């Protein structure tokens, strides 16, 4: 182990952190942590090249973003990072990294997070887990669109869903999802790189924890693959963009709305007369 390591701190609006963290994960193989509106990358290799690449990607977007690159004394930051990731409870579920013990009275899911988002720590993921606890029934046919780590699909399978399909436009997410299903000794029906438009059937429950703009863009696809009387669980919606989503899904019946840390989760039912 080297005596020193590099730390790149990226500060931006929280609505961009997931996308920028995903880009950083594609560009490097090092540990990445999300803390609110900060993304922290740590490596024993110089991260100045990563900073330059991210600047090239984000400059045309004209977003408010700041980079701080520093060199620090290596005190085994991976152990520090692991110590900072605590298990969480959301609905019936207990989400814990492998270095913690499961809970006997909960539905246990093991996730070793490279990113805090997708491990249950982000408000949208936690809210979705609560809605899955409430609405997903035994023998439901479920799809998780934008599956990320696969945590929501895993929750549905452990809840008793008969079949779970998953998809994500990010190939790294697809691989991460496969690994997490294996770690948790669960199976999925199908998984693919892509989105809801590639689905070949209808589902009892459609889950999409993405961002508001994408939920609007693929609204027709999500509704199309939902069975009559089926449910859509939508999340990743900043409260200031909620109206865009509710307008696009106004032909559905709103069953539930949850606001957590400026993030909104909506549960809709597709009634018989909706196509």
Q: Residue 19's closest CA among 236, 217, 243?
A: 236
- At residue 139, the pLDDT reads 92
| Of residues 26, 41, 50, 29, the one with CA closest to residue 170 | 26
What six digits make up the tokens of 45?
A: 């290799």
**CATH code of domain 4-82:** 3.30.70.100
According to DSSP, the β-strands at 253-260 and 190-193 are unpaired
- Residue 135, φ and ψ in degrees, nearest 5: -110, -30
Alpha-carbon distances, residue 236 vs 128, 242, 259 (angstroms): 9, 10, 11
Cβ–Cβ < 8 Å for 166, 140 = no
Calculate mean pLDDT across residues 149-156: 94
Identify whether the C-beta of residue 120 lies closer than 8 Å to the C-beta of residue 94: no
Same fold, 4-82 and 130-269: no
Q: What is the pLDDT averaged over residues 26-55?
A: 84
pLDDT in tens, 169-219: 888 889 889 999 999 999 999 999 999 999 999 999 999 999 899 999 999
Write the pLDDT tens digit of every residue in 227-239: 999 999 999 898 9
Measure the CA–CA gap between 224 and 219, rounded to whole angstroms.
Answer: 8
pLDDT tens track for 101-140:
999 999 999 987 654 445 566 788 899 999 999 999 999 9
For the chain, what are the domain ranges?
A: 4-82, 130-269
Q: Do 91 and 99 contact (CB within 8 A), yes or no?
A: no
Q: What percent of the chain has pLDDT over 70?
A: 90
130-269 maps to CATH 3.40.50.880 = no
How much is the pLDDT for 35? 80
Contact in structure between 26 and 60 (CB atoms under 8 Å): no
Residue 25: predicted pLDDT: 79
* 5 membership: H or E segment, kind and range: strand 4-12
């Amino acid at each position: 182990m080297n005596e020193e390591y590099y730390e790149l701190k990226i500060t931006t609006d929280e609505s961009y952190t997931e996308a920028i963290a995903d880009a950083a994960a594609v560009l490097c193989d090092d540990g990445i942590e999300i803390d609110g509106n900060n993304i922290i990358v740590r490596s024993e290799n110089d991260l100045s090249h990563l900073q330059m690449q991210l600047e090239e990607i984000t400059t045309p977007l004209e977003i408010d973003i700041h980079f701080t690159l520093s060199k620090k004394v290596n005190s085994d930051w991976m152990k520090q990072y692991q110590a900072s990731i605590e298990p969480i409870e959301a609905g019936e579920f207990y989400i814990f990294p492998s270095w913690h013990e499961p809970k006997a009275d909960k539905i246990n899911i093991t996730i070793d997070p490279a990113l805090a988002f997708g491990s249950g720590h982000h408000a949208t993921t936690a809210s979705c887990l609560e809605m899955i606890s409430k609405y997903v029934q035994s023998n439901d046919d479920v799809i998780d669109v934008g599956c990320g780590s696969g945590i929501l699909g895993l929750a549905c399978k452990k809840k008793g869903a008969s079949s779970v399909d998953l998809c994500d436009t990010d190939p790294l997410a697809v691989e991460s999802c496969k690994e997490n299903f294996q770690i948790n000794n669960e199976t999925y029906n199908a998984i693919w790189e892509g989105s809801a438009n590639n689905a070949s059937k209808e589902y009892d429950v459609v889950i999409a924890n993405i961002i508001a703009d994408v939920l609007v863009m693929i609204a027709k696809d999500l509704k199309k693959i939902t069975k009559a009387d089926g449910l859509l669980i939508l999340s990743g919606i900043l409260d200031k963009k909620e109206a865009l989503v509710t307008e696009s899904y106004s032909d559905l019946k709103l069953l539930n709305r949850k606001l957590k840390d400026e993030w909104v989760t909506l549960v809709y039912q597709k009634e018989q007369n909706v196509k």
